[in-house]
């Protein structure tokens, strides 16, 4: 079979794009700019050459992180932030839950939000998170725990609607 | 709300998903804008096809007692279409159709009319998918299209759909190919695991067969499946398709798993399997061996310094192995390992190469897509 696409990039996209996008959204808030950050990461990967990079996943996440933080700093005045969780649902209770969860996540300190998203949505281990964020393993653990505790407090009153 | 409950809630809500446009943008990173319309692309492709069909009547430089090594370059340039005008044509085995990706869709181009229809005045185009991978069955009857999560089988004469399968979310269909007249292999990559399964001509899926890693090849005659183990010595394990019994273990030392120095490829007649060993990176010496299938006897062993972008493959006549080295692309005779031809490649050239029948196509970012004919005897 001759492959019409760059199979390596298509495969890497299938493996990492969702996690990268979830991460970029957590930093930037804006869906369009989050997608730009992910695209930029793959562009950098192509520039560098996949064969020359020992850990493609670590490279992609590092580029997204650096790019997203720079972009957020640069565009803070014109930044828009949409709810992290989609609220397009006909169920009013579910909509309220999603709105509050989005607001709660946005209210977390950035370093805690980052660890939560990397762990839960990007499938990263604490060791990988520590490497990526330049912290110790213990710090990554504690940020995750503090993040869950704080978000839990922000979401008080919606017990029973979590399943 | 306890941390466990919060964690459960976040998992239930799930992450936001990127739009489909992002995938197109990322995959489009490998492309350049094409200034010409599709029909012009088709016309050029038609010219290439015409040349491919009638090349035998062209004058051979060796005719007339001239020594081709004196009169012709080792690799003769036979065609130079516009860069990236069409990508990776997939031919129907009877050469009545070719499928190409023009950046906007996967198009089937009719080069000869279906049976019973009048001759075509110009190539006829039909879009079968917006993206994906395609493969023809060896008897030209069916065309498989893998489009994202969906696998479709079309009858290639009518392009009517005869089978459709939607893969579950957690599974990523990766490659599709026919092996033999009745089999279709679909390979999938959930996380780091790989699965493939056989789908019979009646389009009844058989049980899935797991294998390690992401590197595999299937011999063109459909008899052998080889994959690289992901532990120990990174042996290449050959399985007999159908019985799935281990037929051979090919041991070539691989120090570091990677994408350089780890190629495996079968010759077009399935007589040979060539493998590389050792993977320290671009420019480091790599061992290679040519092994006769069936007897699994090593017929050739050598060493070269591979470039990252150039593939490792046999010529269409199965007589030569093409080695993409950092300085030159070389053709080595399988019989005795002698170098019969070579061609310099440009600096910083990121290229892939593949055989098209008896031709060799090299996609070079600097020079565009060029097609060569191996002119050595």
Structure tokens at A62: 């590092």
Question: B88, A2: Cβ pair inside 8 Å?
Answer: yes
Residue B287 has pLDDT above 70, yes or no: yes
Give A32-92 as a DSSP string.
Answer: HHHHHHHHHHHHHHHHH-GGG-S-HHHHHHHHHHHHHHHHHHHTTTT-----SS----S-H
Segment B188-194 mean pLDDT: 52
Q: Give the CA distances from residue B220 to residues A3, B38, B251, in Å, rounded to whole numbers and listed in that order.
A: 16, 32, 22
Would you state the pLDDT for residue B120?
65
Query: In this model, does residue B365 exceed pLDDT 80?
Result: no
**Interchain pair B7, A148: CB under 8 A:** yes
Instruction: Output A79-87 pairs: Cβ under 8 A, ≥24 positions apart.
Output: A79/A28, A79/A29, A79/A30, A79/A33, A80/A29, A80/A30, A81/A28, A81/A29, A81/A30, A81/A106, A82/A29, A82/A30, A82/A31, A84/A25, A84/A26, A84/A29, A84/B16, A85/B13, A85/B14, A85/B16, A86/B16
3-state secondary structure B305-355: CECCCCCEEECCCCCEEEEEECCEEEEEECCCCCEEEEEECCCCCCEEEEE
Q: Is A146 on the interface with B (CB under 8 A)?
A: no
How large is the average pLDDT for residues A21-44? 90
Contact in structure between B321 and B274 (CB atoms under 8 Å): yes
Q: How confident is the model at residue A23, as a pLDDT? A: 95
- Quick: pLDDT tens for A103-112: 999 989 999 9
Contact across the interface for B5 and A35, Cβ inside 8 Å: no
Q: How many CB pairs under 8 A join A and B?
A: 151
**Contacts of residue B258 in chain A, CB cutoff 8 Å?**
51
Interface test with A, best of B9, B135, B148, B309 (most A CBs within 10 A): B9
Per DSSP, helices labelled H in chain B are: 3-13, 20-27, 38-54, 68-71
Is the Cβ pair A145, B282 closer than 8 Å? no
Contact A35 B18 (CB under 8 A): yes
* pLDDT for res B84: 35
Q: Over range A50-64, report the average pLDDT.
A: 85
A59 touches chain B (CB under 8 A): no
pLDDT of residue B370: 61
- Which of B8, B11, B16 to mutate against chain A (most A CBs within 10 Å)? B16
pLDDT in tens, B248-277: 998 887 766 566 778 888 887 889 999 998
Look at B80 and B291; give whichever has higher pLDDT.
B291
pLDDT band at A3 (very low <50, low <70, confident <90, very high): very low
- Predicted confidence (pLDDT) per residue in B115-146, tens digit: 777 766 665 667 777 667 788 887 888 888 88
ipTM beyond 0.95? no
Minimal Cα–Cα distance from A148 to chain B, Å? 5
Whether A38 and B3 lie within 8 Å, measured CB to CB: no
The rounded distance, in Å, linking the Cα atoms of A146 and A152 is: 10
Say yes or no to pLDDT of B348 above 60.
no
- Give the per-residue pLDDT at B109: 79
B119 Rama class: left (phi>0) / alpha (psi -120 to 50) / beta:
beta
CA quadruple B159, B164, B167, B173: dihedral, nearest 10: -30
Q: What is the pLDDT of residue B54?
A: 42
Q: Is there a contact between B323 and B312 (Cβ–Cβ < 8 Å)?
A: yes
Confidence class for position B72, pLDDT limits 50, 70, 90:
very low
The answer to pTM > 0.80 is: no
CB distance A101 to A117 below 8 Å: no
Radius of gyration of chain A (CA): 17
Bridge partners for B187 per DSSP: B175, B196
Say if residue A25's pLDDT is above 90. Answer: yes
Nearest to B6 among A50, A98, A155 (CB): A155
For B28-62, write each residue's pLDDT tens digit.
765 433 444 556 666 666 666 555 544 433 323 32
Give yes or no for a contact between B1 and A162, defined as CB atoms under 8 angstroms apart. yes
Tell the residue number behind the tokens 């989005």, with chain if given: A102
Q: Is A36 on the interface with B (CB under 8 A)?
A: no
Residue A156 has its nearest CB partner, among B1, B9, B133, at B1
| Contact status of A6 with chain B (Cβ, < 8 Å) | yes
Q: What is the mean pLDDT of residues B196-214?
A: 62
Q: Where are the alpha helices (DSSP H) in B14-143?
A: 20-27, 38-54, 68-71
Q: pLDDT tens across A95-145, in order? A: 888 888 999 999 899 999 999 999 999 988 888 899 898 888 888 999 999
The minimal CB distance from B131 to the residues A5, A31, A39 is found for A5
pLDDT reported for residue B60: 30
B64 pLDDT exceeds 60? no
3-class SS at B184?
strand
* Residues on chain B touching A49 (C-beta within 8 angstroms): 308, 350
Percentage of chain B modeled with pLDDT above 70: 55
């Amino acid at each position: 079979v001759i492959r019409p696409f760059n199979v390596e990039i298509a495969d890497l996209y299938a493996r990492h794009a969702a996690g990268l996008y979830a991460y970029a959204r957590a930093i930037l808030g804006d869906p369009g700019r989050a997608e730009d950050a992910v695209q930029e990461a793959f562009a950098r990967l192509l520039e560098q050459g996949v064969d020359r990079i020992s850990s493609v996943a670590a490279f992609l996440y590092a580029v997204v992180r650096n790019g997203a933080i720079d972009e957020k700093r640069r565009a803070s005045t014109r930044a828009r932030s949409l709810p992290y969780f989609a609220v397009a649902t006909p169920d009013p209770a579910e909509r309220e839950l999603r709105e509050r969860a989005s607001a709660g996540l946005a209210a977390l300190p950035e370093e805690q939000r980052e660890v939560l998203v990397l762990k839960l949505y990007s499938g990263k281990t604490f060791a990988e998170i520590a490497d990526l964020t330049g912290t110790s393993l213990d710090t990554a653990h504690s940020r995750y725990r503090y993040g869950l505790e704080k978000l839990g407090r922000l979401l008080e009153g919606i017990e029973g609607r979590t399943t | 709300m306890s941390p466990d409950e919060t964690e459960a809630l976040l998992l239930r809500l799930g992450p936001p998903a990127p739009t489909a446009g992002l995938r197109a943008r990322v995959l489009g990173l490998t492309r350049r804008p094409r200034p010409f319309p599709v029909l012009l692309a088709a016309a050029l492709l038609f010219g290439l096809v015409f040349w491919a069909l009638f090349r035998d009547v062209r004058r051979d430089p060796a005719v007339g007692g001239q020594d081709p090594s004196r009169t012709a370059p080792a690799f003769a340039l036979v065609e130079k279409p516009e860069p990236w005008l069409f990508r990776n044509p997939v031919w129907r085995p009877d050469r009545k159709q070719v499928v190409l990706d023009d950046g906007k869709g996967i198009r089937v181009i009719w080069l000869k009319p279906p049976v019973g229809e009048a001759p075509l005045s110009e190539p006829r185009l039909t879009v079968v998918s917006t993206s994906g991978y395609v493969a023809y069955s060896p008897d030209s009857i069916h065309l498989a299209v893998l489009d994202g999560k969906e696998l479709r089988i079309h009858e290639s004469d009518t392009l009517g759909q005869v089978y459709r399968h939607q893969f579950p979310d957690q599974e990523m269909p990766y490659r599709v190919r026919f092996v033999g007249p009745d089999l279709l292999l679909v390979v999938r990559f959930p996380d780091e695991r790989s699965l493939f399964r056989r789908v019979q001509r009646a389009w009844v899926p058989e049980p899935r067969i797991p294998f390690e890693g992401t590197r595999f090849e299937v011999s063109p005659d459909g008899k052998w499946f080889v994959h690289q183990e992901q532990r120990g010595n990174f042996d290449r394990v050959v399985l007999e398709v159908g019985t799935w019994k281990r037929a051979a273990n090919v041991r070539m030392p691989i120090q570091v798993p990677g994408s350089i120095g780890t190629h495996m490829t079968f010759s077009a007649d399935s007589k040979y399997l060539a493998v590389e060993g050792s993977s320290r990176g671009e420019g480091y010496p790599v061992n290679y061996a040519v092994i006769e299938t069936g007897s699994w006897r090593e017929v050739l062993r050598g060493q070269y310094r591979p470039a990252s972008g150039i593939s490792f493959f046999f010529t269409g006549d199965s007589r030569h192995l093409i080695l993409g080295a950092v300085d030159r692309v070389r053709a080595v005779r399988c019989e005795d390992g002698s170098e019969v031809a070579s061609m310099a490649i440009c600096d910083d050239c990121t290229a892939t190469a593949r055989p098209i029948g008896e031709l060799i196509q090299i996609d070079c970012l600097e020079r565009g897509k060029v097609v060569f004919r191996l002119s050595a005897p």
